[in-house]
């Protein structure tokens, strides 16, 4: 069955996303559309009340955890949000709306109003339109479609979009044995490429290539590091980098993480501000002390450290872990290939994944830099509370 169309509704905090969706869902229902709603958060939140029966059984390893009452049934899973997860109820809904997930692979609507930071659409080509009551859009997004911030107008836009999606051919229906194309991740762009076949230079044709852009990591406004990375999951990258450097001990050291910048500035959207939690002190001198410096690259290796002994001097010993079966180890590389969506399109990125002792996927990311991919995985585990430093490094 063809999966239902899914769309993310993004915007800055207090832009009015939830208020708009509250008005939009009844409007879409009145037009006969069955709509699923998912709230996405980049911050760690418990899915069950701490100490409750469901929390205890979820922690015990249940693949699905449910809570049923006379008013309905709620099921939770440990799987991260993905298009395939959204497609599970394809026979029950006509449209899936995800509030948030601005770095996800879905097409997007951005809710924006005057007085907020510059629109996110300036650095996100997958934003279909901006929903706003502003008389004019900022220059950086002036060419984007604009939809009035009313439930009726947005429902009209979505109805037209659903018609366009329905008119597209279903690849799986035309060729049951063909592998359906993956949605393009954010780290993919298009370029005209001319290939040399050994005799002649062929005419230019469209090709998909991996994106590489700089990310500046700041802590309380002070630049700490700049790295070339594949855009997307910058929060995880920054947290993983700071954790690996011994600057960050665990997620409790974090107050907030957010992108900053202004339209027209070079690298707009490529600056991430890290604000420590109240009372937390992040030792930024560690970056200088480890000689990693304030400039990193997407290259592999020890990244500026003078030798392996220098690196090992700052690493705390790791306690012995579980013994892995040969099957689990062999299956691990297959699991890694399963998540390489950007590589599927471009052949130009690395991937890293974390799995538990049973081979279950905990986190996985791609990046042009292999150590960036690892930092993203580590950052995701830190943000989830699954990893913390055993002690403060000397």
From first to last of the 394 residues of the chain, give the pLDDT tens digit.
Answer: 577 899 999 999 899 999 999 999 999 999 899 999 999 887 777 788 888 888 888 888 787 888 888 888 888 877 777 777 777 766 788 999 999 988 888 899 999 999 999 999 887 888 999 999 999 999 888 889 999 999 999 999 999 999 888 876 554 444 445 444 444 556 778 888 888 888 888 888 888 888 888 889 998 888 888 989 988 888 899 999 999 888 888 888 888 887 775 443 333 468 888 888 888 878 777 665 544 444 555 554 444 445 566 666 667 677 787 888 888 888 787 777 777 777 777 888 899 988 888 877 788 889 998 999 999 999 989 988 888 776 444 4
CB atoms within 10 A of CB 174: 8
Q: Alpha-carbon distance 106 to 109, whole Å? A: 10
pLDDT tens for 209-238 read: 888 888 899 988 888 889 899 888 888 999
State pLDDT tens for residues 76-116. 877 777 777 777 766 788 999 999 988 888 899 999 999 99
Instruction: Let me know if 300 is a catalytic residue.
Output: yes
Catalytic pick from 260, 300, 303, 315?
300
213-318+372-383 belongs to CATH 3.30.200.20: no
C-alpha distances out from residue 64 to 40, 79, 96, 370, 385, Å: 19, 9, 21, 32, 20
Please give the class, per CATH, of domain 6-40+81-173: alpha beta
Domain boundaries, the chain: 6-40+81-173, 213-318+372-383
Distance CA 367, CA 353 (A): 12
């Amino acid at each position: 069955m063809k999966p239902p169309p899914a769309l993310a509704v993004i915007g800055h905090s207090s832009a009015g996303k939830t208020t708009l969706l509250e008005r939009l869902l009844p409007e879409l229902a009145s037009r006969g559309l069955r709509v699923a709603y998912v709230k996405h958060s980049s911050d760690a939140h418990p899915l069950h009340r701490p100490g409750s029966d469901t929390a205890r059984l979820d922690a015990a390893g249940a693949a699905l955890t449910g809570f049923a009452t006379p008013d309905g049934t709620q099921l939770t899973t440990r799987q991260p949000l993905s298009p395939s997860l959204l497609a599970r109820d394809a026979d029950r809904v006509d449209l899936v709306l995800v509030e948030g997930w601005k770095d996800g692979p879905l097409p997007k609507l951005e809710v924006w109003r005057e007085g907020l930071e510059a629109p996110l659409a300036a650095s996100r080509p997958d934003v279909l339109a901006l929903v706003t009551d502003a008389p004019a859009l900022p220059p950086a997004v002036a060419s984007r479609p604009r939809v009035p911030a009313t439930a009726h107008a947005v429902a009209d836009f979505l109805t037209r979009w659903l018609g366009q999606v329905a008119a597209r051919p279903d690849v799986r229906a035309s060729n049951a044995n063909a592998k359906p194309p993956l949605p393009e991740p954010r780290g993919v762009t298009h370029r005209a490429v001319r290939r040399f076949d050994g005799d002649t230079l062929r005419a230019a044709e469209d090709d998909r290539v991996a994106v590489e852009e700089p990310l500046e990591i700041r802590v309380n406004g002070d630049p700490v590091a700049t790295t070339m990375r594949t855009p997307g999951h910058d929060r995880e990258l920054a947290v993983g980098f700071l954790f690996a450097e011994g600057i960050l001990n665990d997620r409790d050291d974090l107050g907030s993480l957010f992108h900053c910048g202004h339209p027209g500035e070079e690298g707009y959207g490529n600056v991430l501000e890290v604000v420590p939690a109240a009372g937390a002190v992040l030792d930024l001198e560690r970056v200088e002390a480890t000689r990693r410096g304030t400039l990193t690259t997407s290259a592999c290796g020890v990244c500026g450290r003078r030798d392996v002994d220098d690196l090992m001097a700052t690493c705390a010993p790791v306690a012995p872990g579980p013994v892995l079966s040969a099957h689990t180890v062999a299956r691990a590389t297959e699991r890694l290939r399963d998540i390489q969506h950007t590589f599927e399109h471009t052949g130009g990125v690395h991937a890293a994944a974390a799995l538990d002792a049973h081979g279950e996927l905990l986190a996985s990311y791609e990046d042009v830099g292999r150590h960036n991919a690892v930092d993203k995985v580590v950052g995701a585990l830190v943000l989830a509370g699954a990893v913390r430093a055993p002690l403060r490094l000397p």
